[in-house]
């Protein structure tokens, strides 16, 4: 039986008179990769930031690991890993120094090299954040979510703007983190990403959940409803060609 670790019920968020989140409900199970999937402006980041205790909700109830967000936000903060905004700050510190700094903010002992090892960045320990490629920046920001050994991590569009190798690389990293028992909530507007990465997805549009299930089940339901793709799809796409030609392995620049 799947155990619920996050429960969101009838969540609403208004920015002034604009109703951005209109009664969203979903449960996240312990140990799964759960996707919030939707176009820009759907309300994904708003929902995520409210659960992260970083943004006020207008109404609704949220429980994380049995703690009520309204009553025990500090207990929730101890359990979660949130991507820190690293860009622009402390431009002269190295990655190892930044990790020590963040660990100090969390009041957590940390071995910077061990943490950099989990995201494959040991060779960049002495580099500055601004010197990293897009994929490396994302891997570093994922490392910062792991500093306090969280039960749950939140990733808001971690692969936006990355090239195909760097994206696949990040997918592998996210799967590895989940294998260690961490629950992952990720937002994305890439459907292919959700399909390969997420155990279950909530599709959000205009502030409402319009579907919630495993990607497989959602596709099967659509096919069962009589849907057919208008033309025969090839067994590969241009991205497959690109990956096949350029290789999938970890590269120095991603």
Binding site for ligand ADP (CB under 6 A): 15, 18, 20, 38, 40-46
38-57: which residues touch Mg ion (CB under 5 A)?
A: 44-45
Residue 18 touches which of ligand ADP, Mg ion, none (CB < 5 to 8 A by kind)? ligand ADP
Nearest distance from C-beta of residue 78 to ligand ADP, angstroms: 25
Closest distance between ligand ADP and the C-beta of residue 98, in Å?
26
Taking the least distance from each CB to ligand ADP, the nearer of 5 and 20 is 20
Q: Give the tokens for residue 221.
A: 């339901």
What residue 242 binds from ligand ADP, Mg ion, none (CB within 5 to 8 A, per partner kind)?
none
Q: Which does residue 41 touch among ligand ADP, Mg ion, none (CB within 5 to 8 A, set by kind)?
A: ligand ADP
Concatenate the DSSP letters of all residues of the chain into one string: -PPEEEEEEEEEEEETTEEEEEEEEEEEETT-EEEEE--TTSSHHHHHHHHTTSS--SEEEEEETTEETTT-HHHHHHHEEE----TTS-TT-BHHHHHHHHHHHHT----HHHHHHHTT-GGGTTSBGGGS-HHHHHHHHHHHHTTT--SEEEEESTTTT--HHHHHHHHHHHHHHHHTT-EEEEEES-HHHHHHH-SEEEEEETTEEEEEE-HHHHHHHHHHTT---SSPPPSS-HHHHHHHHH-SS--TT-
Residue 227 interacts with, from ligand ADP, Mg ion, none (CB under 5-8 Å by kind): none
CB of 160 to ligand ADP, least distance (A): 10
Q: How far is the CB of 5 from ligand ADP (least distance, A)?
A: 22
Interstrand relation of 80-82 and 67-68 (parallel, antiparallel or unpaired) = unpaired
Report how far Cα 220 is from the mean position of its chain's Cα atoms: 25
Q: Quick one: 182 or 187, whose CB is closer to Mg ion? A: 187
Of the two residues 30 and 49, which places its CB atom closer to ligand ADP in the complex? Answer: 49
Interaction between residue 25 and Mg ion (CB under 5 A): no
User: Closer to Mg ion at the Cβ: 82 or 95?
Assistant: 82
List CB contacts of 51: < 8 A, sequence separation 6 or more: 6, 8, 62, 64, 69, 154, 185
Nearest CB to ligand ADP, comparing residues 40 and 235: 40
Span near Mg ion by CB under 5 A; candidates 21-29, 36-44, 55-63, 112-120: 36-44
Q: Phi first, then psi: what are they for 180, rounded to 5°?
A: -80, 5
Whose Cβ is closer to ligand ADP: residue 45's or residue 214's? Answer: 45
**Residue 42 or 76: which CB sits closer to ligand ADP?**
42
Is residue 127 close enough to count as binding Mg ion by CB under 5 A?
no
Interface contacts to Mg ion, rule CB under 5 A = 44-45
């Amino acid at each position: 039986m799947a155990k619920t670790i996050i429960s969101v019920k009838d969540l609403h968020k208004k920015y002034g008179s604009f109703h951005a989140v209109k009664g969203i409900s979903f449960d996240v199970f312990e140990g799964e990769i759960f996707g919030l999937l939707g176009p820009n402006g759907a309300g994904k980041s708003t929902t995520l930031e409210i659960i992260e205790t970083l943004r006020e909700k207008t109404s609704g109830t949220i429980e994380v690991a049995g703690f009520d967000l309204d009553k025990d936000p500090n207990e929730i903060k101890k359990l979660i890993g949130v991507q820190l905004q690293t860009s622009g700050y402390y431009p002269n510190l190295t990655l190892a120094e930044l990790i020590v700094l963040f660990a100090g903010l969390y009041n957590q002992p940390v071995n910077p090299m061990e943490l950099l090892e989990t995201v494959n960045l040991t060779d960049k320990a002495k580099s500055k954040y601004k010197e990293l490629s897009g994929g490396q920046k994302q891997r570093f920001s994922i490392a910062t979510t792991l500093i306090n050994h969280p039960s749950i991590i939140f990733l808001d569009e971690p692969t936006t703007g990355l090239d195909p190798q760097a994206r696949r690389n990040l997918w592998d990293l996210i799967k590895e983190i989940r294998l260690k028992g961490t629950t992952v909530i990720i937002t994305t507007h890439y459907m292919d990403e959700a399909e390969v990465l997420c155990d279950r997805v909530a599709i959000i549009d205009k502030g409402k959940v319009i579907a919630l299930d495993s990607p497989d089940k959602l596709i099967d339901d659509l096919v069962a409803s009589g849907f057919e793709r208008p033309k025969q799809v090839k067994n590969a796409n241009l991205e497959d060609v690109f990956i096949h030609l350029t290789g999938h392995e970890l590269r120095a620049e991603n």
